[in-house]
């Protein structure tokens, strides 16, 4: 698959050229510098897309979008309830750990003979 490797290398070179253009045009307006980066990025993506791995990635991305559309997302009410449960659990765990820590500190002070 030598042609694909060449396409991928060319895509990387195009992206690098866009970034290099950003620094080469350091005296130019910022819009021109950003346009150089975007042009290099777009050219690199298009070149990569024409390779076999690029086509495979595009197919994978399309399948991922289709699977995401199948997901049943929770309602706002369910999300808020779940978030509330998590917050309550965090507070309860914090209080529990604080109690255990304070108790162990008290025990250690008693064992060392310090007033606690």
pTM over 0.85: no
| Nearest partner of 47 among 78, 71, 76, 15, judged by Cα | 15
Please give the pLDDT value at position 2. Answer: 82
**Cβ(39)–Cβ(15) below 8 Å:** no
Q: Is 100 helix (H, G, I), strand (E, B) or coil?
A: helix
Q: In terms of residue numbers, what domain contains 37?
A: 2-70
* CA pair distance 77, 84, nearest whole angstrom: 11
Same domain assignment for residues 57 and 16: yes
Same-domain check for residues 66 and 78: no
Query: What is the tens place of the pLDDT at every residue in 56-112?
Result: 999 999 999 999 999 999 999 999 999 999 999 999 999 999 999 999 999 999 999
In this prediction, residue 116 has a pLDDT band, given cuts at 50, 70 and 90, of low
> How many domains would you assign to the chain?
2
Statement to judge: residues 11 and 47 lie in one domain: yes
């Amino acid at each position: 698959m030598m042609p694909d490797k060449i396409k991928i290398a060319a895509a990387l070179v195009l992206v690098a050229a866009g970034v290099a253009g950003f620094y080469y045009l350091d005296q130019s307006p910022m819009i021109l510098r950003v346009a150089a980066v975007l042009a290099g990025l777009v050219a690199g993506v298009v070149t990569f897309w024409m390779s076999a791995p690029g086509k495979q990635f595009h197919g994978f991305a399309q399948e991922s979008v289709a699977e995401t559309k199948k997901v049943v997302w929770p309602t706002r009410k369910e999300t808020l309830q779940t978030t509330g449960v998590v917050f309550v659990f965090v507070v309860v765990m914090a209080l529990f750990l604080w109690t255990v820590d304070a108790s162990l500190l008290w025990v250690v002070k008693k064992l060392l003979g310090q007033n606690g």
